[in-house]
A and B are shown apart, each in its own frame.
Chain A
Amino acid sequence: MNQLFAAFGVNWSLIIAQAVNFGIVLIALRYFLYKPMMTMLNKRQELVAKSVSDAAKAEELFAGADAEAASRVHAADTEAEKIVAVARESANAEKARLLKEAEERAVLVAKDAEARAAEALERARRESERDIARLAVLAAERVLHDQS
Chain B
Amino acid sequence: MHAGINVVLKAEQLGSVFGFPITNSLIMAWAVMALLIGFAYFFGRSLSMVPGKLQAGIEWAFEGAIAYMADVLGSEALAKRFFPLVASIFIFVALINELEFFPGVGSLGLVHASDFLPVLRAPTTDLNFTLALAMISFFAIEITGIASLGFFKYAGKYVNLKSPIGFAVGLIELMSNLGRLISFSFRLFGNIFAGEVMVLVAGYFLPYVLPAPLMGFEMFIGLIQALVFAMLTLFFIKLAIMDPHGEHA
Contact = CB atoms under 8 A, between A and B. Distances in A.
B84 A26 contact: yes
Contacts of B11: 9, 14
Interface of B: 9-11, 20-21, 23, 26, 29-30, 33, 36-37, 40-41, 43-45, 47, 49, 58-59, 62-63, 80, 83-85, 87-89, 91-92, 123, 126-129, 131-133, 135-136
A18 B133 contact: yes
Given A26-B85, A29-B91, A16 B33 contact: no
B10 A7 contact: yes
A14 B16 CA distance: 12
A38 B87 CA distance: 13
Q: Identify whether the interface residues of B are mostly helix, strand, loop, or mixed.
A: helix
A10 B33 contact: no
Interface residues of A, number: 33
B36 A25 contact: yes
A47 to B, nearest CB: 7
Given A18-B133, A22-B88, A25-B92, A37 B126 contact: no
A25 B88 contact: yes
Nearest to B129: A18
Nearest to A37: B62
B5 to A, nearest CB: 18
B128 A34 contact: no
Contact of A10 (B49, B84, B128): B128
Candidate in A22, A28, A32 with the most chain B CB atoms within 10 angstroms: A22
B87 A29 contact: yes
A10 B29 CA distance: 16
